[in-house]
Chains A and B, each alone.
Chain A
């Protein structure tokens, strides 16, 4: 989230897309209700299903899954055509005025630079004209230049008329216009809207662009950086934000530093290819400017004395992967027989898919598989799943009992970036060990092997710092202190990443967490909350700066310089983010130098992390286009009404094709219905299949079927049905409902079917069923394809057939 949970109470309008907060985040949902009850905010929910969120929304729109770029694109068009954008904000705080290079073009669904053989773009033309004198980007603050971002964008989205939006999304024109009217009012300085999304936007081949389309709308309305505004991702479980921050994703190092690439020999090479470049004289380019400091301090934390100036701070110890190593790639490699073993922790690959059957084949091709978990999972038991002949599985499976989070202390980082420390509630059961103790023990054993036997390149292992009291049992408190980083000269904890250096005298385990654990103690433990709102929330905006700790630097709303106008006054005095008091910025922790006078002609632009210094309506940070464009899901019942020749994303990576395996995508003739997968409030992923009280609440796997379709097929609630895709099938119960219904898309009647994901062949439900959950894995249906940027699988839009059993 750019903002945070409590901040949603400050909004006038709440757009919810690709999310179901009432069910997935019921506790956070209290702030949606507070906005509604206390300030009369309106809540608009666009979703394929009428959910428990829709039930309390002011407006529900049945939208076809995966079509949100068209929805936001239509809203962008409405705002631009009717001059409803926040004028001063757009001119001064976005790149609307930047002039785009000659050669940039968009025709028939393709941006300039497309290579159809490689299915990739050369993005050279997706950048700015530079001024010959200054070398910075040319700008036209009148926004009239036809090559300005503003004019190109206006032209790009002019195709997204209400009729086109309706044809793509299935939302009737009149209803879309009602939303457009409400959204159009949010560009006024005294109004603010928030957009809330979750994996319903990310789980698409266009996932990154779905989110960007919302962000572009928010920039046009001047809602980024403001209390009550922002682009707010609701994260999947209690600590998924922490996972991402600490580089669970393959393409980043901690703190969103890029993973080094082949050919980079020095820190300078790395920074040159990774860091944002300054493109305006008033751009601070804080991230780009400090990139080497963050990287060197990270290397110092990892390699200590072995990281020296004369060996580029051990930069060559860090892997420089030549190819993608995302989730699907791992199982693709295993499937090809190129992987020997796999360690799984805190998740079950066999269930989380996509294409579970293919993933299970992949697990069966490993030599060994290690599961670290508190309870049996579909991965630890895949070799004896119903229908599987265990004698045919050669994989040796090790189950290492790990502690549950309730059995350890440590931090949870919530969607709002608050790192909140928690206590151990129960002692570990039996012989279970913490995951990090298992890993520490494994590491010490591997290290001993390298020390004894040498090996090709032992240094990255043998030089790794491991300065814990007990190297087999590091304490999470020690790790938290290490992540914060310290000044090696004074031995003191670092107080801010602004003080990190690239001369080897400072360390950090994750620069965005610098400041979380000071010499005075662990700030994540702070609990200055609603027991004393006057002291703990002096502005009344809900920042509660003495509650836990929020990255970066305890800032509660990111980009908050944009919450104030050019003079430093809040756009809306009733909802101040930060304010210039004549000598310093007050309010939230400023995303800006504390004493930088906004009237200084050299004052930095508001978005200090970007090279441009302003919000990017046009961006070359994505591999699939500088402006978000609607593409159909890879499996879709219709051709893209905008450009049928380039219907789906032209750059989505096709694993099966690349590996020479047979095509595993279905056609609408064989699989006529759209399906989408999701979670229910009663369960958390798969683990709650072991919890009796929750199994009682949702005891059996089911699919939600539109009433009209069920009537055609003679299906009643409680009947057994088979749902199949090109990849597999589920055999579960039917729940017939009018909460799903037919819609007209591209002149065609389509149905959407809903598939909750929580069941499999492990847990109380499966144990009590005669089938033992043989065909219960929802992800048996989902396609092995993902977003071109993040390779996040397309769990949310695929084609199926439906039969009564």
Chain B
């Protein structure tokens, strides 16, 4: 891997079509970032016992069983979906937008990072993140999520999860290179007849584009991801609200004027 340089945009390309659900990414992340993990609990949900991304889980492999009833089938990454989920490091990051203290910043690698010494634990970002990525650490009282291994990048090392991934399902690198690789991969799958393969967050339709984007083997909703129609910043969600408020205000003024006028007429 080429030298990691400040000023360049880095990210992950997670190709779910080659994920084997080994969870090495989950463990490597915890080992490097010294996360204890949550107390063990059997979730009775396929092979997933992590449940969700939170303050202790910065990588989470989702397992979605769509195995058909017949006894022979093509797996090919489409029948038992496995997806190593992670913070998307959105271009339009909802968490950054709502953070009142400026704790959430964009680093010199163009990744989204929560500064622990600035975070005041208000939880606005937890509520704002459309992907449920951020969690509160009970010990520190601050918000935590994937740092894209900020410390490793500063030391010239790729993130722990990508390093540990045995099938290159998780690829790390300069975003432009990853996007190219993803285009090649999705074209190859399409040419093999795997037409449902699609890129998620590769372009700007989802939160302006994701630094950590995905190749999915089904539609985003299947993985619990907002589709392009819904993937907008909280402030844009507020546009309707603002409009209603404005209309209400205008009506109120008009109503008031009418009332005054009537009073005047009386």
Interface of A toward B, CB cutoff 8 Å: 22-23, 26-27, 29-30, 33, 37, 40, 45, 50, 52-62, 170-172, 175, 680-682, 692-700, 702, 716-718, 733-735, 737-739, 741, 743, 764-765, 768
Stretch at the interface among B33-41, B204-212, B220-228: B33-41
Measured between beta carbons, the chain A residues less than 8 angstroms from B49 are 696-699
CA A710 – CA B215 in complex, angstroms? 34
Whole-angstrom distance from the CB of A33 to the nearest CB of chain B?
A: 5
Structural contact, A61 and B71, CB atoms closer than 8 A: yes
Within 8 Å by CB of B38, from A61, A696, A768, lies A696
Whole-angstrom distance from the CB of A267 to the nearest CB of chain B?
A: 48
Whole-angstrom distance from the CB of A177 to the nearest CB of chain B?
A: 11
CA A190 – CA B202 in complex, angstroms? 39
- Interface 1/0 per residue, B116-131 and A, CB below 8 Å: 0000000000000000
User: Does B69 make an interface contact (CB < 8 A)?
Assistant: yes
CA A768 – CA B166 in complex, angstroms? 32
Structural contact, A175 and B40, CB atoms closer than 8 A: no
Q: Is the interface of B mostly helix, strand, loop or mixed?
A: loop
CA A675 – CA B91 in complex, angstroms? 50
User: Does B76 make an interface contact (CB < 8 A)?
Assistant: yes
Residue on B with the closest CB to A50?
A: B67
User: Does B103 make an interface contact (CB < 8 A)?
Assistant: no
Whole-angstrom distance from the CB of B77 to the nearest CB of chain A?
A: 5
Interface centre among B18, B44, B75, B166 (most CB of A within 10 A): B75
Measured between beta carbons, the chain B residues less than 8 angstroms from A61 are 71-72
Structural contact, A738 and B67, CB atoms closer than 8 A: yes
Structural contact, B22 and A60, CB atoms closer than 8 A: no
CA A737 – CA B65 in complex, angstroms? 8
Interface residue tally of chain B, by bracket?
Answer: 35 or more
Measured between beta carbons, the chain B residues less than 8 angstroms from A680 are 47
Known: A29-B167, A693-B37, A697-B26. A62 touches B71 (CB 8 A): yes
Within 8 Å by CB of A733, from B39, B42, B75, lies B42
Measured between beta carbons, the chain A residues less than 8 angstroms from B166 are 26-27, 29-30
Known: A30-B167, A33-B168, A693-B27. A50 touches B79 (CB 8 A): yes
Residue on B with the closest CB to A30?
A: B166
Measured between beta carbons, the chain A residues less than 8 angstroms from B74 are 57-60
Measured between beta carbons, the chain A residues less than 8 angstroms from B40 are 695-696, 699-700, 764-765, 768
Structural contact, B22 and A22, CB atoms closer than 8 A: yes
Residue on A with the closest CB to B76?
A: A58
Whole-angstrom distance from the CB of B30 to the nearest CB of chain A?
A: 6
CA A764 – CA B68 in complex, angstroms? 36
Measured between beta carbons, the chain A residues less than 8 angstroms from B44 are 716-718, 733-735
CA A45 – CA B20 in complex, angstroms? 14
Measured between beta carbons, the chain A residues less than 8 angstroms from B45 are 717
Q: How many A-B residue pairs have CB under 8 A?
A: 139
Nearest 10 CB-CB pairings of A with B = A699-B40, A718-B44, A717-B44, A62-B71, A22-B20, A175-B72, A700-B42, A26-B22, A55-B80, A57-B75
Structural contact, B80 and A170, CB atoms closer than 8 A: no
User: Does B108 make an interface contact (CB < 8 A)?
Assistant: no
Whole-angstrom distance from the CB of B190 to the nearest CB of chain A?
A: 14
Structural contact, A60 and B18, CB atoms closer than 8 A: no
- Interface 1/0 per residue, B52-85 and A, CB below 8 Å: 0000000000000101110111111101101000
CA A57 – CA B50 in complex, angstroms? 25
CA A638 – CA B7 in complex, angstroms? 68
Structural contact, B79 and A681, CB atoms closer than 8 A: no
CA A37 – CA B20 in complex, angstroms? 14
CA A735 – CA B49 in complex, angstroms? 12
Known: A23-B22, A695-B40. A59 touches B72 (CB 8 A): yes
Measured between beta carbons, the chain B residues less than 8 angstroms from A733 are 42, 44
CA A693 – CA B27 in complex, angstroms? 7
Whole-angstrom distance from the CB of B52 to the nearest CB of chain A?
A: 13
CA A695 – CA B42 in complex, angstroms? 10
Interface residues of B in 93-151 (CB under 8 A from A): none
Residue on A with the closest CB to B68?
A: A738
Within 8 Å by CB of A26, from B20, B39, B41, B76, lies B20
Measured between beta carbons, the chain A residues less than 8 angstroms from B17 are 56
Within 8 Å by CB of A33, from B26, B65, B73, B167, lies B167
CA A66 – CA B145 in complex, angstroms? 47
Measured between beta carbons, the chain B residues less than 8 angstroms from A682 are 23, 47
CA A338 – CA B69 in complex, angstroms? 52
List, sorted by A's number, 30 A–B pairs whose CB atoms are closer than 8 Å: A22-B22, A26-B166, A26-B167, A29-B20, A30-B168, A33-B167, A37-B18, A50-B67, A50-B80, A55-B21, A55-B79, A55-B82, A56-B77, A57-B74, A58-B75, A59-B74, A60-B74, A175-B71, A681-B21, A693-B27, A694-B27, A695-B40, A697-B26, A697-B50, A716-B44, A718-B42, A737-B46, A739-B65, A739-B80, A743-B71
CA A58 – CA B74 in complex, angstroms? 5
Structural contact, A681 and B72, CB atoms closer than 8 A: no
Residue on B with the closest CB to A692?
A: B37
User: Does B31 make an interface contact (CB < 8 A)?
Assistant: yes
Residue on B with the closest CB to A27?
A: B166
Residue on B with the closest CB to A33?
A: B167
Structural contact, B24 and A692, CB atoms closer than 8 A: no
Residue on A with the closest CB to B56?
A: A696
Measured between beta carbons, the chain B residues less than 8 angstroms from A58 are 74-76
Interface residues of B in 152-203 (CB under 8 A from A): 166-168, 188, 192
Residue on A with the closest CB to B72?
A: A175
Whole-angstrom distance from the CB of A574 to the nearest CB of chain B?
A: 21
Structural contact, A55 and B75, CB atoms closer than 8 A: yes
Residue on B with the closest CB to A170?
A: B71
